[in-house]
Amino acid sequence: MALFKWRGPALGGPLWELERMRNYMENVYSTLASGVSQFRRNYTGVFPLVNLTEDDDNLYLTAELPGVDPAALELTIKNDTVTVKGVRKTGPAAEGANYHRRERDAGSFSRSVNLPVKVGSDAASAGFKNGVLTVILPKVAEARAHQINITT
């Protein structure tokens, strides 16, 4: 019997936990598809944390990437998927130091997010400020809402 610890509204509640587990399984399966030996070396958990929002004209993807050099990032858009790849490094530990707690993993990461609508990848733009990557993805004309006048 599996037990899941509910973390409360501070982390988004039970739905947040289900999303975290889904992302974990996607990462496990994609890593296994690329070879079992890659699993230990590349897996750093669900990183980066992302938000995907939209308005009438654009989708906005923000990713938290503290301590990541923006020059080490690779951003790709293919079909209806945005992928952020990069390397997160941690500073060297002092010689002879013992870790009492180590929660920040280092290494390569890859995070893919499926988009709910088609976007124009040629007009996409991205910026990086204060450790947050912001990607603006303009919707294609077919994906935008259109108001239709009703005649009587």
Strands (E) across 10-131 are located at 50-54, 58-64, 74-78, 81-88, 107-114, 125-129
Q: How many CB atoms lie within 10 A of CB 152?
A: 2
Question: CA triplet 98, 109, 80: central angle to 5 degrees?
Answer: 160
The reported pLDDT for the residue numbered 44 is: 46
Write the pLDDT tens digit of every residue in 6-63.
Answer: 444 445 566 777 888 888 888 787 777 665 544 444 444 568 899 999 998 999 999 9
